[in-house]
Amino acid sequence: MNNQQLFENIQKKGSFLCVGLDTDIRKIPKFLFDHKDPIFEFNKAIIDATAKYTVAYKPNLAFYESEGLEGWQSLQKTVTYLHQNHPDIFLIADAKRGDIGNTSSMYARAFFEKMDFDAVTVAPYMGEDSVKPFLDYKDKYVVLLALTSNKGASDFQFTAEENSGEKLFEKVLRISQNWGDAENMMYVIGATKAEELAGIRKIVPAHFLLVPGVGAQGGSLQEVAKYGLNHQCGLLVNSSRAIIYASDDENFALKAGESAKETRDEMYELLTQKGLIA
């Protein structure tokens, strides 16, 4: 998928929602344990109930790895199911990988060849050669961590450089543009600091931003849209727990769908106001 195709899906669905498939076996409804693969059954039901309000899904690898081999299997089945049943979905591996060049190329192979994700989140600490191997794939994306939504973001990401005063996350945004462009890179920008978005848009006007932290973590969708939308939308706003755990009852998928629809309706309004859909 490329930016234009992603934007067309956003227009078609009136949504820039990404649903985080952070599927925790300890939190899913108990009756799913009658199935052989409860994690996959949960994902399948959530996907079917939310796909029409959603342009992207983002499984976080940690939740699957914590179940060992079986978790890895559930993830593969989820990816296959999405491709077969919802081919217009943009699929992000939230893996936060990154290693020396020859090793990162193995991670790229894992996520883009073995598993056919459209994008993978990557941590910037190890610099250019840790990111580059992911950029060699056509119509695939690195989603580079810049400003995260967690408390620990303040430990290093705001470190101001001597002379320039440039903060570390700003430096990541600036320097990484020498490695790729808006057609193969996106950035993680936490919504808890929506006021930072205006400045960030000056550094990366054209890139898509993957924005976690709306809802449960306190960010406001209105604020994110105000500072973050660009001519191709340029935003994927992620919601995980508020949607996938909207209910832990028999009706969990229905409730997830309702929660996704609610967010979509708000996004539709914001896209219309901005003149991005007719």
Residues lying near a copy of itself in the complex (CB under 8 A) are found at 22, 24, 60, 62-63, 65-69, 72-73, 76, 94, 96-101, 103-104, 106-107, 109-110, 113-115, 123-131, 145, 148-157, 159-163, 165, 168, 171-172, 175
Q: Which is nearer to a copy of itself, 22 or 41 (CB)?
A: 22
Using CB atoms within 10 Å of the CB of residue 72, give its burial: 0 to 12 exposed, 13 to 18 middle, 19+ buried.
middle
Positions marked catalytic = 96
Q: Least distance (Å) from a copy of itself to the CB of residue 243?
A: 16
Using CB atoms within 10 Å of the CB of residue 116, give its burial: 0 to 12 exposed, 13 to 18 middle, 19+ buried.
middle
Q: Which is nearer to a copy of itself, 115 or 135 (CB)?
A: 115
Q: Which is nearer to a copy of itself, 75 or 229 (CB)?
A: 75
Q: Which one-letter amino acid corresponds to residue 141?
A: Y
How far apart are the C-alpha atoms of 3 and 250, rounded to whole Å?
Answer: 37
Tokens of 147: 């400003």
Q: Least distance (Å) from a copy of itself to the CB of residue 72?
A: 5
DSSP code per residue over 99-137: -SHHHHHHHHIIIIIIS--SEEEE--TT-HHHHHHHHTS
Contact 217, 192 (CB under 8 A): yes
Tokens of 16: 């820039």
DSSP code per residue over 134-157: HHTSTT-EEEEEEE-SSTTHHHHT
Task: Scan for tokens 């629809």, then name that residue.
Answer: 261
Q: Which is nearer to a copy of itself, 66 or 273 (CB)?
A: 66
Q: Which is nearer to a copy of itself, 24 or 183 (CB)?
A: 24
Q: Least distance (Å) from a copy of itself to the CB of residue 30?
A: 20
Q: Least distance (Å) from a copy of itself to the CB of residue 240?
A: 10
Q: Which is nearer to a copy of itself, 23 or 54 (CB)?
A: 23
Q: Least distance (Å) from a copy of itself to the CB of residue 46?
A: 18
Q: Least distance (Å) from a copy of itself to the CB of residue 151?
A: 5
Using CB atoms within 10 Å of the CB of residue 54, give its burial: 0 to 12 exposed, 13 to 18 middle, 19+ buried.
buried
How far apart are the C-alpha atoms of 23 and 276, rounded to whole Å?
Answer: 33
Contact 167, 158 (CB under 8 A): yes
Task: Please name the helix (run of DSSP H) or strand (run of DSSP E) that holds residue 186, with its range, or none.
Answer: strand 185-189
